[in-house]
Amino acid sequence: MKKRKLGQKVSLFFAIFCYVMALVSIIFSFIWKGDHGTQDPIYASALASIFFFACCGVVLQTIANTNLPDMSFQSDSDR
């Protein structure tokens, strides 16, 4: 298991949150489509939300899984 820094842990949490919100948006769009059809602007907004949350989740998960170098200002003798 790779050791993640605090920023990567936060990024992974929000990636999972974005994936969950994308699933909620999918469920909402199916319910809205059944009740009101596809010509309503709210249905288009739900589809845009699915795309937005899925893309944010992918970007945040990539950041969380990236092997980031140590960018501290300590010299090698201080470690």
**For the chain, what are the domain ranges?**
21-35+42-64
Q: What does the DSSP assignment read for the chain? A: -PPPPHHHHHHHHHHHHHHHHHHHHHHHHHHHHHHH-SSSHHHHHHHHHHHHHHHHHHHHHHHHHS-PPP-----GGG-
Q: How many residues would you count in the chain?
A: 79
Check residue 74 and give its pLDDT.
Answer: 74
| Residues 23-77 pLDDT 10s | 999 999 999 999 998 999 999 999 999 999 999 999 999 999 988 777 777 766 6
pTM above 0.75, yes or no: yes
- Which residues, in sequence order, are CB contacts of 38 under 8 Å at separation 6+? none
Locate 11 and state its tokens. 């990024």
